[in-house]
Structure 1
Amino acid sequence: MRRSMLGRLAVAACSLSLLTAFAPAGGDDAGAPGGSGRSYKKVGYFTQWGVYGRDFQVQDLEANGSAGKLTHINYAFGNVSAEGRCFTGNVPGEADAWADYARPLDAANSVDGVADTWDQPLAGNFNQLRELKAKHPGLKVLISLGGWSWSTHFSDAALTPASRRAFVASCIDLYIKGNLPQDGTRGGAGAAAGVFDGIDLDWEWPGSAGDTDTTYRPEDKRNFTELVKEFRTQLDAYARSQKRGTKYELTAFVPTAPAKIDAGFDVRRIMRDLDFVNLQGYDFHVSGEPRTAQQSALYAHGDFSVQGTVEAWQRRGAPAHKLVMGMPFYGQGWTGVSGGGNGMGQPATGPAPATWAAGYEDYKALKKLADSGAYQVHRDRRGGHAWLFDGTTLWTYDDPQVLRAKTGYVREHGLGGAMFWSLDADTADGELITAVDRGLRGR
């Protein structure tokens, strides 16, 4: 993704144009296969910049009921410096300490209903996440490192044993120990201690191309494995030093394309140290392509699909219970669609106009289009995906009906749960997360 104050989501944290096609192979929630009870992960990404143009605050997760349905919030994103360190600050396009921990919230936008004071060391999103955890003691918050735009220096940070040790130590110091840079009265030693329960690695992509300025090397695959191990080692050591039975979680966002998996991920080895991975379950096709296509189908013969992604990771040694299925809370759109029919698979002139970035639209806006009557909802029931088409413009997206099918797949195949990008794209009453929660409960 590209980051700007209002439109840094063009392809979002977890987006990319996938380069090759493949044919897929032959909280305490109830609802595991066979009817037995089990826990499913429900992981939502909260975007740092959503508090601006979208005016989506942490408090909105409490107001719309989403907080009580989540097991994890991944805070997007933390950046990696050219020196290979986790860092924050007020650096346009690189870090936003104002949003993270300096911005004061009034009573109406605070989870606990109390306005921030000028002299408290922690404010902003970090303080609101702390307040949200106080209301929901089982909720875990992870700092997600990287994303599409901020994976630039991951390869350098992971290059040597010394660079990995220093990188991991800096991330633990900043986010787990909470030693924030002083920003006026904000920050200081231990200011954010207890906010984060672990680290999510969102390196896009080790061993293969990501954003235009992101470095990658053939040795990234080995170095990513060693980086995961270093994070696990240092997180466990710090947990032991706390002597409170604390465990810090370690997760990763991982790709769909087999070529990208094989270039960057020693699956059997990394899965030993990761608590779980969030599978890319979207952006199988994007609005920059010349023809319309599905972006998140559950099944798709000869094309990318959720099923194909799950099976690709399992064939390489990932256990099902550590695979968390990614689900989009947004759509990919094309305009100037010609060729007739229902619009799918037809030529288009370019990305569709949208609120924040051309070709990318929040579900809450797409729901309004569907309800307006101007667009017809189409479904591929065998493929498990949906799209909107008005004769000229097409949007491919997931709605509650699609998500019910996907949660059924999670339960049937014993997967670890569901992940969503991103929480600010849902409706004001949390329609999509409610559908996922009910589906994982077998309701």
Structure 2
Amino acid sequence: MTAPTGLTAKVTNTAVTLSWKGSTDNSQTGDAPAYYVYSGANLMATSMGDSVTVSSLLPNTAYTFTVQGYDKDGHASAESAPVSATTGAAASGPMKSAYFDQWGIYGNAYYPKNVATSGAASGLKVITYAFENIDPTSHTCFEAVKASDSTNDSDPNAGDGAGDAFADYQKSYTGDISVDGSSDAWSQPIKGNFNQLRELKAEDPNLRIVLSIGGWTYSKYFSDAAATAASRQAFVSSCINMFIKGNLPTGISGDASGGTASAAGLFDGIDIDWEYPGSADGHAGNHYSAADTANYTALLGEFRSELDAYGNSIGKHYLLTAALPSGQDKIADIQPAAISQYLDYGDIMTYDMHGAWETDGPTDFQDPLHASASDPSPVVAPGNEQYNIDETIKAYTKGDPQYGITGGFPASKLVLGVPFYFRGWSGVTAGSNYGLYEPATGASPVQTYTQEAGIADWKELVAQGLTTGSTVHWDPTTDSSWIYSNGTFYTGDTPQAITARGSYATANGLGGIFAYSFEGDDSSSTLINTLVKSMP
């Protein structure tokens, strides 16, 4: 196998994009399907093509890179001639990010290419890839091809052993849906979403990709993984080995994809989405205990320690983030000041405060920005406050004694969340204000893409013509929007509401704004582009 030639480097802040002329393998046929990228003896990244962005490098630091071709059969080339590059200052400005759902490639046909064509990727700093699961026996990170029972909240074992290695790194992308227009070769060590996200970073070098573990369906075993120092170390090291060092397992469902360092350099950090430490309010069957409060802090400390140790050894800084609860009753079970010392930032899930699980209503906003005297919802025990975003932010930063919340989380590390989906009720009378705060008879109808009563993506409402004109309403007290049509009430964030939340985040010194998730947006990428513009 011949060595790669013509290696060049382009610096963008703390990322370096490398390009080269590929190897040829005279003992086989065709070009080498993959490349290792080194800085000295440190393996920094792998690539399935002839370019890659090495991200999360240290600012104002000199690096020397070489590239080596390899293939699935173990053939390897000599290393290329070296190229040197010195990084600049870290990118500035607010954190703007969005979740990319692993499963969005199926019914929604939402691929990383859609992010690229939206035009928003260049305005985002982070994409959070969701979700990976925790092994029910070993309590470590793992990969599998096994469907979850994710639409059945009453199933206590809905996520046990579930995973989607096929979507992650086995699916062969064709040129029409790939980021760079090329089709995957069958012999590539990794394909799927992982390789497409790598291609996306090559197009937008300032973009970082963070891997999220947990979520609503996959939080069952966090309590077990965090329970002891030994279990925390085993869990954290397994996740770093698999997703940061990139040692993906092979042979899952008979597929040869994966292998040592096959995903090296792809992920720029880890996101912990534990829903919720110490609380019975998570998915049915979730394990929890009072010890979760301290163990959650210790788990984040273990991630910070191990990410820093590995990052320091190769000249990188890895992000550690967390999806944080927004309800006072759930914030009371964590330690805001203590966890903030380990996190680069916290994504607050400032949504899902109300929805059709409140079967008979009254209708209400799923993410009111401010309190309203007209809000008929009960106060959150044991205090006297209702759910709203402003109360959440104050609880994290200043504390709230009536809930035992001590605060102390720096505002500059908090990132405010907005949903790209709407919660809905049916059987809602118009009342005096287009269905707001009125009784209901049940959840809104099942939709084409979301396939769940009581929820509708923005794009589904756009397709029904419900997002413009007389069906859209605005409440200046809560700075929130809603949609009312023929007895159906939807609550979520229109462009006006997203703009208001960006203005609030700026005025209150928050670190940024994020969305859950890309696939809910319309074909014009209305919401993600509004989010990018909402914080200057």
Q: Judge same fold: TM > 0.5, yes or no.
A: yes
Correspondence for 1:346: 438
Please tell me whether the aligned partners of residues 84 and 157 of structure 1 are also in contact (alpha carbons under 8 angstroms). yes
Q: After superposition, where does 1:89-128 map in structure 2 within 5 Å? A: 89-93=144-148, 94-128=162-196
Contact 2:467 2:483 (8 Å CA) reproduced: no
Check the 8 A contact 1:43/1:418 in 2, yes or no. yes
Q: What amino acid maps onto 1:192 in structure 2?
A: A
Q: Within the alignment, does 1:137 sit opposite 2:205 as a pair?
A: yes
User: Is 1:331 paired with 2:422?
Assistant: yes
Q: Give the 5 Å matches for 1:169-208.
A: 169-183=237-251, 184-208=255-279
TM-score by length of 2: 0.73
Q: Does 1:247 align with 2:317?
A: yes
2:226–2:232 contact (8 Å) kept in structure 1: yes
Distance 1:336 1:308, change over 3 A: same
Could you tell me which amino acid in structure 1 is paired with residue 174 of structure 2? D
Quote the residue 2:310 is aligned against: 238
Q: Offset at 1:125?
A: 0.2
1:421 aligns with 2:512: no
Please give the alpha-carbon distance, in whole angstroms, between the structure 1 residues aligned to 2:427 and 2:469.
16
Matches within 5 A, 1:214-363: 214-242=286-314, 244=315, 246-263=316-333, 265-289=334-358, 290-291=360-361, 292-301=363-372, 302-315=385-398, 316-338=407-429, 340-341=431-432, 342-355=434-447, 356-363=451-458
CA positional deviation for 1:373: 7.2
Q: Secondary structure at the match of 2:100?
A: strand
Check conservation: 1:69, 1:433, Cα contact below 8 A.
no
5 Å-filtered alignment, 1:19-98, equals 39-82=93-136, 83-93=138-148, 94-98=162-166
Q: Deviations over 1:362-409 (max 9, x none)?
A: 111223445587962111012111111124100011111111111111
Larger relative CO (CA 8 A, sep 6+): 1 or 2?
1
Question: SS at the partner of 1:119?
Answer: coil
Q: Secondary structure at the match of 2:418?
A: strand
Task: Deviation per CA, 1:79-109: give whole Å up to 9, x if none.
Answer: 0012210111112221010000000000011
Question: Counterparts of 2:335 and 2:496 in 1: how far apart (Å)?
Answer: 35
> When the two structures are superposed, what TM-score results if normalisation uses the length of structure 1?
0.88
SS at match of 1:186: coil
Q: 2:502 aligns with which of 400, 407, 412?
A: 407
Amino acid at match of 1:77: F
Structure 2: distance between partners of 1:156 and 1:185: 31
Partner of 1:439: 534
Mapped partners of 1:373, 1:318: distance in 2: 38
> SS of the residue aligned with 2:217?
coil
Does the CA contact (< 8 Å) of 1:374 and 1:390 recur in 2?
A: no
Counterparts of 2:439 and 2:182 in 1: how far apart (Å)?
Answer: 53
150 and 371 in structure 1: CA distance in 2 versus 1, 3 angstrom threshold: closer
Aligned partner of 2:483 in structure 1 is: 388
The higher radius of gyration belongs to 2
Alignment gaps of 5+ in structure 1: 1-36
**Aligned counterparts of 2:135 and 2:366: Cα–Cα separation in 1:** 32
Measure, in 2, the Cα distance between the counterparts of 1:359 and 1:375.
22
User: C-alpha root-mean-square deviation of aligned residues, in Å?
Assistant: 1.5
Residue 136 of structure 1, CA deviation: 0.9
Kept in 2: contact 1:386–1:397 (CA 8 A): yes
Residue in structure 1 matched with residue 57 of structure 2 by the alignment: none
SS in 1 for 2:249: strand
Amino acid at match of 1:313: Y
User: Taking structure 1 as reference, are residues 369 and 375 closer, same or farther at Cα in structure 2, changes over 3 Å only?
Assistant: farther
Report if aligned partners of 1:145, 1:199 keep a CA contact under 8 Å in 2.
Answer: yes
* Alpha-carbon offset, residue 432 of structure 1: 0.8
Specify the SS of the correspondent of 1:325.
strand
The structure in which a higher percent of residues are helix is 1
Counterparts of 1:148 and 1:336 in 2: how far apart (Å)?
A: 28
Name the CA distance, whole Å, in 2 between partners of 1:338 and 1:136. Answer: 48
CA distance in 2, matches of 1:367, 1:408: 24
- Answer yes or no: is the 8 Å Cα contact 2:125–2:208 preserved in 1: yes
What are the residue-to-residue correspondences of 1:4-23 with 2, within 5 Å? none
Q: Post-superposition shift, 1:73?
A: 0.6
